A and B are shown apart, each in its own frame.
Chain A
Amino acid sequence: MEHSIYGDHLPEMQALLDQIMEGLGGLRKQMTEQYGSDPVEHCLARIKSEESMREKCRRKGLPETPESALTKIHDAIGIRVVCAFLSDVYRIRDFLISYENAEIYEEKDYIRHVKPNGYRSYHMILLFNKKYYVEFQLRTISMDTWAALEHQIKYKHDVHGNEDLIVSELKRCADELASTDVSMQTIRDMIFEENARNQ
């Protein structure tokens, strides 16, 4: 069998991934008890497959070595957290940066600074134990829905002619969904305030 591009790091990477997921699980449980609902709708965690990591190294002109995979490329471990509400996205973010064995390597708020095509998400790369980079994508359900459709369209090469129209319509959908996210958050906040006042 060929040697893994991750060398002998895989078990340790998997353990780190499990540890983070466990931490998130604890937070979800605690917030569910506190607020009555789970802040996380779903969560995807993966270690980038052997094949796509090798492909990425080649694309970036890097040798296919553990060093490239673990230090030059920062998404070997990736976790996507899809939240019900906007405020949950920022709660999860605050939770993640509170890890004592993690430091922020990169942080990009594409929710405030939306990409020109309408893409919204909170991106963060944390370095754990000064050893492993973990890429986080935090977003709401509607941001996730939009990204899924946009991804589908972008990689379909039979979209011709109407491309400009489709791109601008997708941007419009992104802005409508973002607007709805804020409205839903406002309604939820209002319900919480009413409940707090009546208690």
Chain B
Amino acid sequence: MKLLLAEDTKDLNRALTAVLMHEGYDVDPVYDGAEALDHIRRDSFDAMILDIMMPKMSGIEVLTEIRKINIVTPVLLLTAKSEIDDRVAGLDAGADDYLTKPFAMKELLARVRAMTRRRTDYSGKDLRFNDLHLDAEKFELSSENSVRLSVKEFELMQTLILNADKEVDTKYILDHVWDKEPDARDDTVWLYISYLRGKLSSVDSKAKILGSRGGSYRLVAG
């Protein structure tokens, strides 16, 4: 797993690099914002640690820039204790987490683990529920037989499985699966729920989606 570390304080940078490498990460250490941006553009990383206060470009400026060019790699910001506004600005600019200096090395490692786990655990893994199997790599829904889902169908099925046996309302689905797309409406969710119902029956699964148009939906075992 490859990390970018942007920290202008040389001693801290060296110490963090050593600890992270000891934990088994590949680390690319840089010492200012411009250098960080340069490396991010050239290379790809599994996660990035950006100090906010850096010469040439601040961590937030780097973050804003990379999110603009659709780089969604998780970012952990390092902030000084007094910088509340910076932390808010950082999170709003697309940071996944922040850590206030001074921090314990143990906490930094735990946050890096949490940040990188999120990607691999939840979006990239196969899910199982009842007699169903949802394969994230192939977008395949299977039981007695299998079908291939469209992106939205897959994300909706994923949401229902992750919230199995719980009520998931239309608004939650619109926010999470359609990411507040302006054209998506209650009826859009209803249509996709109907698609999935058809597909559950098509793969001969006993699992069912309960609920009606505009309301809450619940995936239950058959």
| Cβ-neighbour of A190 out of B140, B145, B149, B194 (below 8 A) | B194
Which 9 residue pairs are nearest across A and B when measured between Cβ atoms? A114-B145, A179-B147, A182-B198, A176-B148, A175-B148, A186-B198, A186-B194, A182-B202, A178-B147
Residue in B146, B191, B198 whose CB lies within 8 Å of A175:
B146
Contact with A along B141-170 (1 / 0, CB 8 A): 000111111100000000000000000000
Q: Which residues from 158 to 206 on chain B have a C-beta closer than 8 Å to any C-beta of chain A?
A: 191, 194-195, 197-199, 202, 204
B157 to chain A, nearest CB (A): 12
Q: B194 near A179 (CB under 8 angstroms)?
A: no
Within the assembled complex, what's the spacing in Å between the Cα atoms of A178 and B201? 12
> Is residue B138 within 8 Å, beta carbon to beta carbon, of the partner chain?
yes
Contacts of A182 in B (CB 8 A): 147, 195, 198-199, 202
Q: Is the CB of B148 within 8 A of A172?
A: yes
Nearest B residue to A120 via CB reads B145
Pairwise interchain contact B144-A183, C-beta atoms closer than 8 A: no
Is B144 a contact partner of A113 (Cβ separation < 8 A)?
Answer: yes
CB nearest neighbor in B for A182: B198
- Expressed in whole angstroms, the Cα–Cα distance for A175 and B202 within the complex equals 11
Taking CB atoms, residues of chain A closer than 8 Å to B146 are: 114, 175
**CB–CB A183/B198 < 8 A:** yes
Could you jot down 18 A-B contacts, CB within 8 Å? A112-B145, A114-B144, A114-B145, A114-B146, A175-B146, A175-B148, A176-B148, A178-B147, A178-B202, A179-B147, A181-B202, A182-B147, A182-B195, A183-B195, A185-B198, A186-B194, A186-B195, A190-B194
A190 to B199, CA, bound (A): 15
Chain B positions within 8 Å of A185 at CB level? 198
A residues 140-199 near B (Cβ < 8 Å) are 172, 175-176, 178-179, 181-183, 185-187, 189-190
- Docked pose: A187 CA to B187 CA in angstroms: 12
Majority DSSP secondary structure for residues of A touching B = helix
Known contacts A182-B198, A186-B191; is-contact A175 B144 (Cβ 8 Å): no
Inside 8 A of B194's CB, which chain A residues have their CB? 186, 189-190
Q: Report A120 CB to chain B, min CB distance, Å.
A: 8
Least CB distance, B155 to chain A, in whole angstroms: 15
The smallest C-beta distance from B201 to any residue of chain A, in angstroms, reads 8
With A182-B199, A183-B195, A186-B198 as known contacts, state yes or no: A112 contacts B204, CB within 8 Å.
yes
Give the residue name and chain of the A residue nearest to B140 (CB).
Answer: A175
Q: Tell me how far the C-beta of B196 lies from the nearest C-beta in chain A, rounded to whole angstroms.
A: 9
Q: How far is the CA of A186 from the CA of B192 in the complex (A)?
A: 9
Q: Specify the chain B residue showing the minimal Cβ separation from A114.
A: B145
Q: Can you name the residue of chain A whose Cβ is closest to the Cβ of B194?
A: A186
Q: How far is the CA of A190 from the CA of B190 in the complex (A)?
A: 10
Q: A172-B138, A179-B150, A182-B147 are in contact. List 6 more A-B contacts (CB 8 A).
A: A114-B144, A175-B148, A176-B147, A178-B202, A179-B202, A187-B191
Closest to A179 in B: B147
Is there an interface contact between B149 and A179, defined as CB atoms closer than 8 Å? Answer: yes
**Which B residues from 201 to 216 make CB contacts under 8 A with A?**
202, 204
Q: Which partner residue on chain B sits nearest A172 by CB separation?
A: B148
Q: How many angstroms between the C-alpha atoms of A186 and B195 in the bound complex?
A: 6
How long is the Cα–Cα vector from A190 to B191 in the complex, in angstroms?
Answer: 8
In angstroms, Cα B180 to Cα A112, docked, is: 36
In Å, the complex CA distance between A182 and B203 comes to 10
Cα A183 to Cα B138 in complex, Å, equals 18
Could you tell me the distance between the alpha carbons of A186 and B144 in the complex, rounded to whole angstroms?
20
Q: A82 to B146, alpha carbons, bound, how many Å? A: 22
Q: How far is the CB of A160 from chain B (nearest CB, A)?
A: 25
Residues of B close to A175: CB separation below 8 A: 140, 146-148
Given contacts A112-B204, A190-B191, A190-B194, contact A179 B199 (CB under 8 A): yes
Contacts of A178 in B (CB 8 A): 145, 147, 202
